[in-house]
Amino acid sequence: MSTSRGCAGEREAAYGRFDSYAFEADDRFQGGLAALERSSETCVLEMKLFYYNRFVEPIDSTEYKQWSCVSPGVTDCGVETLKRLTLSESDTSGNSAGETSQEHKLSFEQVMRLIQAGEDVPGVTKLDVKPINQSPTPSKMQRILKPWEIQ
């Protein structure tokens, strides 16, 4: 039982370190933030969570949001965070393809409907891929014999 309390204490310490991390002083984060040109506070929190998980230490974003809403002195908890947390956990199957927003995760069925209808899937960048029309490079290695070909 003390082990689970230790894990919870470690998580709370990690959440506290995330909450006090100097994102404003981190040039790499600020450069990425400027490149994305997002202004929503919820999106900024999501970007902070992604960055912190990638470059500092891993923390669970859902648990952090719950923790930040009940912890005193945390500045990132607000109505938008609660709405985002609620929407990400709710079922989005009632939405049609045209009603999906960035706050909702699409189900496999919704993605298939968009693809079958020939519509763009939100959040997916289209790549301009063209064939190079060149013959393949011949192999320079000798083929490895299969077990039954070995004499």
State residue 102's pLDDT score.
46
pLDDT at residue 123, rounded to an integer? 82
Q: Read off the pLDDT of residues 59-94 as tens digits, 9 standing for 90 and up.
A: 888 888 888 777 766 555 544 444 444 444 444 444
Strand segments (E) across 1-151 = none
- Helix 79-89 to helix 61-70 angle (10° resolution) is 140
* DSSP state string for 93-145: TTS-GGG--TTSPPPHHHHHHHHHHTPPPTT-PPP-------PPPPP-SPPPP
Given a contact cutoff of 8 angstroms between Cβ atoms, the answer to whether 33 and 44 are in contact is yes
DSSP state of 137: P
Q: How many helices (H) and strands (E) does the chain have?
A: 6, 0
pLDDT of residue 147: 92
Domain ranges of the chain: 2-90, 91-127
In percent, the amount of the chain with pLDDT more than 90 equals: 5
